[in-house]
Structure 1
């Protein structure tokens, strides 16, 4: 079994197996989720100071902020060229 890794921008990589959703940060409920995650210490900001364009929700309840468009992250998730590491 291999682990598929997805580049979420600026050299940051996330395990594709852990991603539940990739959403836009525009709506009020998502903004509340981001603030609650920040308060709880489970927010990972991978934007390098740039505007947040995608919010990645993981199965461990971590929220990851990315400066890459959600569509781009989704394309990378579905791409065959994504980094795959074999654990055997």
Structure 2
């Protein structure tokens, strides 16, 4: 199994094959998911104190916060897949 790594901002990297969803943090259900993950100790805050713009949900139940837009993160996933297909 080949692990693909994606930059989520400020030098932070996640394993692309473990991410299930990339969502915006504005809705109440997502805020609840983030709060619950914080209580469980499964929250990874990669915002460096900046505003949270993307919330990534992993297959292990961990929640990752990023300060870059969800569209930007998704584009990096797509670009990584296209680059892998060419290689």
TM-score above 0.5: yes
More helix by share: 2
Structure-1-length-normalised TM-score? 0.89
Mapped contact 2:6–2:80 kept (Cα < 8 A): no
* TM-align CA RMSD: 1.8
Aligned equivalent of 1:64: 64
Structure 2 gap ranges (5+): none
Q: Specify which structure has the bigger relative contact order, considering alpha-carbon pairs within 8 angstroms and separated by 6 or more residues.
A: 1
How many residues of Structure 1 are paired with residues of Structure 2 in the alignment?
A: 84
Mapped contact 1:4–1:83 kept (Cα < 8 A): no
Structure-2-length-normalised TM-score? 0.90
More strand by share: 1
> For residues 51 and 3 of structure 1, do their structure 2 counterparts lie closer, same or farther at Cα, with a shift above 3 Å needed?
same
